[in-house]
Structure 1
Amino acid sequence: MEKLKIVFMGTPDFAVGILDTIYKNNYDIVGVITAPDKPAGRGQKVSMSAVKQYALEKNLHLLQPTNLKADDFLTELKSLEANLQVVVAFRMLPEVVWKMPKLGTFNLHASLLPQYRGAAPINWAIINGETKTGVTTFFIDDKIDTGAMILHKETHISEKETVGELHDRLMNIGCEAVIETLELITKGKVETTIQKDTEEIKTAYKLNKENCKIDWTKNGNEIYNQIRGLNPYPAAWTYIKDENQEWNVKLYDVSFEKTDHNFSIGQVIATKKEIKIATNDGFIHIYNLQFPAKRKMTSQELLNGIQLSHNSIAL
């Protein structure tokens, strides 16, 4: 059995959970690669990635290349003498990087490949109303999330589960998958499966302002799935127009009531006790939301401060 010398690559919190598991299982982590520090938030204060914070806490050798093809970075990476690289929520690697270690470079992806290749697999699984998802480990090749698969772990998605909740569950499942994959590689018992695009492949597109905006002409269940698939981050949003005012509002905790009604699509019904928005087949009941420059609040807290007229509408 060959002793593993691992370089880990990742950036967000999801990757930290995996890195921590590798560390606690006493694998030799010879280097950690993450994104460069960058300005964030309203004050544009320079912030470091979650993976960098963890690497500094554990005193792990850290690299933050801006260019993955730069000679100085490649020289330093080679000097670490890793025989395996593990990638979780990082960027696309050039061939010179993923081919460097003798035992290869494998990625943990938060979907059941080949479905939901791309940047936001956890979000899109919920947005599209899937009832199952999981994680996949696979060896990286020259395309995005298309390499030979090592193993799958599957899980059920509940009807009310948000992306925040599913994210945390998949991180725990991903920890198990990565450790099992490392054990297979250590013992030389890896058997890969080539991905086949024989079925309709759904893509996990990168999230942006446009695809996070709610389309109130869709049916209520589709809107409900979109909102929970973006809760808590980056959050589904809509314009709410009332008289001469218009706000960009983020919606978080909601439910869908399927029922007949005579309201216009998008009409906001606000009473002293609740806020709901009419869809073509019922109502989206809103429990938590956020107005511009305001903190996230309950609908009751909002109603205590803002009175919406009967003419208010979600656009």
Structure 2
Amino acid sequence: MLSFITSFLPTSYFLPGWLTLETNPVNSLLQGLVCACGVSVLCSLMRVHLYLEDSSSDRNDKDTSNQSAPNHQWRTDTGLSGKIQFFMVTVILAVVGSRAASLVVLEFCLRAVSGWVTAGPESSKFLQQLLVQSQFSLGCALSCSLYFLHEGAPQRWLCLVLAAALSWFLASLSTRLLHHVMVLYKLHSSQRYCGICISLLTSGRCLLPMLCRIIIATFSVAVVAAVSVINQQFLSAAEALRFWTPLTICYTLLVVYMQEEQHRLPSSQVVLNTVVVRLGGLFVLMLTVGHWADVFHVLMCFLGEASCLIPNRDLLDVASSQDEEDFTDYVKREHHRGPKVQLKTHK
């Protein structure tokens, strides 16, 4: 019944082959909905985590001094702008093919592993920034994983409907949790009134490790799916070698560039410039060894990254401001420590 209805949709009759979807539009839309819900869950939980850290730091500052530290400007995208952003991410992830999504996943995994190895003692701060930047990459990971797991399934649309219902339920729960925390957390945590806020007050530090474990499991499945999806396009080992060699060189150069950027002050503008460089290198690579469909899908990835990062620039600013606050606290401690050391040496 579903295939009979979708057969009348103008897909391949009026559009060239590189503009058509890999599956029928209903399956693609359901797959994009699942991926957008995953991005929404990640964004909401990261906002909750950063808000809890900001609240705990403000509480500590009030305990140590009479002056209260200025709060960050937090906002929740529950209005019309949030719905438009969610719709845009859904459509973009529905249009982006599994091949381009696989390339984005492989690039992100290589960048994440190399950055985590070189982060050292600042791994927790690096993980916060990486999770904020991984929104569209998470959507691509879910997209290629769903394509790989449901490939050849006779009732693929039914599996996607169940997955979309579950992901929509989880996204709505995370959005309601975020709204509750933003509005009532300070009141409930101070008066020990709400069970949700008390649990977040006592065990809120476990939220970031839980997100990291979920992201690691998701991208582990996505890497296997990405390699399998890309290797399906080749008929011989020579073709595979001709594709993987420039891809490896391009990704290695991108990782070197990311490591150089980490020595600079982290900010939202640096992140946006990094996104342009990463996808620009992938776009040039697809012009040389890819297909026209890959080039079009990489261009759609530009829009996807912009639709995920630009509305959430406050998260990037909070993550970078926490690093700045840690640096200023270190400078103040060294400044107060200096006269004491000089006095001891003088004695």
TM-score tier (shorter): under 0.3
Q: TM-score, normalised by structure 1?
A: 0.22
Higher helix fraction: Structure 1 or Structure 2?
2
- Greater relative CO (CA pairs within 8 A, separation 6+): 2
Higher strand fraction: Structure 1 or Structure 2?
1
